[in-house]
Amino acid sequence: MFRGLADKELDGRLKFIWYVTSCGADASFSYALYSKYKDIYHLFMSNDYDSHGLKIPDAALKRLLNKRLEEPFEMYKRLMAMGIRIYTIEDKEYPNKLRKIINPPLALFFKGDFPDFDKNLCAAMVGTRKMTDYGRKTAEYLASGIASCGVTIISGLAKGIDAVCMRTALNCGGYTVGVLGNSIDTIYPMENAALYNKVYKHGVVISEYWPGCHTYKASFSRRNRIVSGLADFVIVIDAPDGSGALITASYAIKQGKLVCVPPMPITKENSGTLSLLRGGARLITSVSDILEEYEVLLPHTIPPDLPLPTLLEAECPESKKEEMLRLDYKEVVYNYLLEELDKKGSLSLTQIMAGDHQFTLKDLMRAASQLELDGYAVRLPGGFFDAVPADKVPRATIKEN
């Protein structure tokens, strides 16, 4: 026994860690090779990997022929110490929704409370990082209404529409799922550090990439198949041509999922959203438009519909202070302080105030205490604070793609 797992379960998960790390991130052959054996034990015992007509790089083949499990065991212990768990495609807890997609992830690393995706109604809500104000208001309207009905909200934890939908759902007491396009121990972007913590404390953060895994620009697009795969339907908000949200919609269509789009102004910022409508996506003008057909699955009654935000409302100017308040003022201070400590090293709160007067000492003290509790900062003698070393907590290490 180890950490409550039966030996066979642990052995199987160690072999999956061995396999995915040997193949490497985004390996095009990993699922195809696994499918030849359909069992991790048979795959592990084989030495005939290059006989299946798959293009396996020499470096990966060499790693696969090394059957030692010491490194996977060390990684497993590291996962447990970090509060990260793993489900594999052979585990009963692995979502059947994902088993049905093309090229499903063989292992899911997660932090938080893993739900029963097959019993819960799930909505993927995605959109551009560079959202319009109208798009933001529409995202808040839909996310609050859908989450209040008990629907699980899934998104990519990117800035922009993704972050707005997840933050809004959490503020409504909803359950959220953040699917990462980078390693499970990495927060990206840094400005979403507080949101990341909220999601895993009141939901779950998931990645197919293990701690320390080096990912690529394409990894962010690749994770979108998981976002749509876990969802029963996908809502795309505020997406220009080339937006990653359109990749999620494309995966959803291939997976046979319903794609929904709210009405948006005819502008270049929404050209991608409008193209989805021309391609057959469903136009939704209210929360009930999408939820009525799922009403028997909902734990809560669908509330009376409120009107969608109007363009006139979206065009009203907002001061910087008002903008900070709507983004959650405490979260803004938290992320600002974390970024300052990460960039500049050991600082006192008075030094930070001297460099930027937008926050009070009380604001900064509250944020510093929360950073300590979350494990991102450490208090030093003399009233100084410093960021915790990069190898001790999740850090933002991936450049924006």
Q: What is the pLDDT along the chain (401 residues), one digit of tens a residue?
A: 344 345 778 889 999 999 999 999 999 999 999 999 989 999 999 999 988 889 999 999 999 999 999 999 999 999 999 999 999 999 999 999 999 999 999 999 999 999 999 999 999 999 988 888 888 889 999 999 999 999 999 999 988 999 999 999 998 889 999 999 999 998 888 788 888 988 988 999 999 999 999 888 889 999 999 999 999 999 999 888 888 899 999 999 999 999 999 988 777 777 888 889 888 899 998 888 889 888 888 877 777 776 666 644 444 445 444 554 455 667 777 777 787 887 778 888 777 776 665 777 777 888 888 888 777 788 887 778 888 765 555 544 333 33
Instruction: Read off the DSSP letter of residue 395.
Output: B
Cα-based distances in Å from 57 to 31, 61, 62, 185: 15, 6, 9, 27
Long-range pairs of 100-103 with CB within 8 A, sequence gap ≥ 24: 100/229, 100/255, 101/225, 101/229, 101/251, 101/255, 102/225, 102/254, 102/255, 103/31, 103/225
Give the span between the Cα atoms of 71 and 336, in whole angstroms. Answer: 37
In three-state secondary structure terms, 240 is: coil
| Max CA pair span of the chain | 66
* Spatial contact of 254 and 100, defined as CB atoms under 8 Å apart: no
The amino acid that residue 72 corresponds to is P
Of 174, 168, 192, nearest to 182 by C-alpha is 192
- Supply the angle between the helices 7-23 and 30-37 in degrees, to the nearest 10: 140
Burial bucket for residue 277 (CB in 10 Å: 0-12, 13-18, 19+)? middle
Burial grade of 307 (CB within 10 A; 0-12, 13-18, 19 or more) = exposed
**Under a CB-based contact definition with an 8 Å cutoff, are residues 235 and 261 in contact?**
yes
Look at strands 377-380 and 384-387 and give their pairing. Answer: antiparallel
Give DSSP secondary structure letters for 301-341: PPPPPPPPPPHHHHTS---HHHHHHHT-HHHHHHHHHHHHH
